[in-house]
Amino acid sequence: MSTALILSTLIVISLTFSSVALSLRQHEVPDDLMERGLNAIGIDANTTRVRNVRISGSQFRTKSMITTIALDGMDSTVVPYGNQTITYSYGEGGLKQRIDRFAGLGTLWVFARPALEPMDYSVVVQDGEDGSAAVIRVFDQSLNISVLFDPDTYLPFAIRTYEDHPFFGPSTNDLRVYDYIRVDGLMIPRHFKIIYNNKRLITDFLADEVSVNFDLEPSFFNVSAERGNLNIPVVDPALTAYIGEKYANYLWFGRFNFTAMDFDAQQPYTDMPGVWVIRMPGVANYRQILLETDNYVVVLDAPSEQALVLLEWVRINIGKPVSQIWPTHHHHDHALGVPSFVENGAEVVVPKMAQSYYANIPGAKFATYERGAPYIVQTSDYRATFIHVEGSIHARDHSVTVIMPACPTDDSTVLVFDADHVVQAQLMATHNDHNELSQLVNAMAKHRVAKSAL
């Protein structure tokens, strides 16, 4: 969604933003930089002759920042192929924009959509007093956009927004624009890249066709009533980063609206009191485990939606501090809740090799484990061991917890808490990555975990 508004800002300059010139070659920044930029694009302040613009292309790809395998890479694909048409109209009622996008999904998304049909959809954005988007409402004054101009041509080179990312802290989200073409007097870019923090390339869009002042159906920007109901005010830069990421990965399902009362909490293992299984409403396959000790609670896995609600549940129902949070792996759907737990006093338990990934979380303290030195939580009733599944093809820091009674016998419960090795339990034969499954089984065999383990 931020991309949509960034694109609108490129053409419509009534939005508030600051501007800076590239300083790579120590150019002076001219006082009339903005005017030069507009002239370069072909916009004359005295005319409103441009009624609409359309940019259309058959090459659209996106990568995922949420689910990388390596902690510092961009090795996971959301959209391997796709196409996109972006249409702007500058008629009555201010700027309108519509994005029509066809996006094939990468194989990773089999966990959410086993059939992997392409996403074929449209988004409409309306600027102005009553501005809205089909998915989120955005306030112009909160955009805080900079435009970076090429010092030779004065054409925009990067349109930059600022976010407070839950892991990376203050971050830049750039739309880089290249390869301009002149159409009907306007300079319009044909190559668009979204680059995060100057290094993570997320989206790549190549336009084949650009049109200006073509015949446009009056109903083209209409939005149906059902879609209009989804407006959510977004003014918090951390929430903006969060929704932006999830939306770009087709993983934004709306706000988490449940309370602590809605959680289903059990201690189902009679030989391991203090081991709580928490089920979230509306998410059949997703569970968290709480390890209760005499003085504190350890939370296993850290999705962000329910983090604060889960903390409240622990306060009400157990009344002990959450002193440790353990994300199964760094993927953001399992780890973006970490900052909320840290803010509330929890230490972060991760493999030693992953500590730097979380280092920018304000106030984070760590307990780490590595080969030969597992992290263990032990009470008189149970023993929980945190193990790094080395060489994981899902996430380099992928870990599991093995929980069993403090003095196990042949028929004791043995529990393995894991995320994402098995993603479609109901479609075991066809919809799981068998490399990931065998990796988990091999790791459990190596650590001599009982065959009867749950």
Q: Point out which residues bind Zn ion (CB under 5 A).
A: 331, 420
Write the DSSP symbol of residue 291.
E
CB of 434 to Zn ion, least distance (A): 17
CB of 110 to Zn ion, least distance (A): 12
| Distance set, CA 90 to CA 53, 128, 147, 422 (Å) | 9, 12, 21, 49
For the purposes of burial, counting CB atoms within 10 Å of the CB of 138, is it exposed (0-12), middle (13-18) or buried (19 or more)?
A: buried
CB of 398 to Zn ion, least distance (A): 8
Closest CA to 5 of 139, 180, 151, 121: 139
Element (H, E) at 9: helix 2-11
- CB neighbours of 276 closer than 8 A, spacing ≥ 6? 265, 266, 267, 289, 290, 291, 292
Of residues 98 and 246, the one with the C-beta less far from Zn ion: 246
Asked whether the beta carbons of 177 and 205 are under 8 A apart, the reply is: no
Of residues 54 and 331, the one with the C-beta less far from Zn ion: 331
Of residues 98 and 394, the one with the C-beta less far from Zn ion: 394
Of residues 61 and 331, the one with the C-beta less far from Zn ion: 331
Of residues 176 and 394, the one with the C-beta less far from Zn ion: 394
DSSP string, 292-358: E-SS-EEEE---STTHHHHHHHHHHHT-S-EEEEE-SSS-HHHHTTHHHHHHTTPEEEEEGGGGGGG
Of residues 163 and 397, the one with the C-beta less far from Zn ion: 397
Asked whether the beta carbons of 43 and 34 are under 8 A apart, the reply is: no
Place of tokens 């991309």: 3
Of residues 274 and 327, the one with the C-beta less far from Zn ion: 327
Sheet with 82-89: strands ordered across: 132-133, 119-126, 96-103, 82-89, 52-57, 209-212
CB of 454 to Zn ion, least distance (A): 21
Distance (Å, rounded) from C-alpha 219 to C-alpha 98? Answer: 12
CB of 281 to Zn ion, least distance (A): 22
CB of 399 to Zn ion, least distance (A): 12
Place of tokens 């396959």: 285
Of residues 418 and 420, the one with the C-beta less far from Zn ion: 420
Q: Which tokens go with 136?
A: 């989120």
Of residues 172 and 424, the one with the C-beta less far from Zn ion: 424
CB of 353 to Zn ion, least distance (A): 17
CB of 394 to Zn ion, least distance (A): 6
- Collapsed DSSP state (helix, strand, coil) of residue 2: helix
CB of 67 to Zn ion, least distance (A): 5
CB of 423 to Zn ion, least distance (A): 8
User: SS3 helix, strand, coil % of the chain, rounded to 5?
Assistant: 20, 35, 45
| Distance set, CA 70 to CA 64, 396, 408 (Å) | 12, 5, 36
Distance (Å, rounded) from C-alpha 424 to C-alpha 436? Answer: 12
Q: Which residue is nearest to Zn ion (CB)?
A: 331
Of residues 53 and 419, the one with the C-beta less far from Zn ion: 419
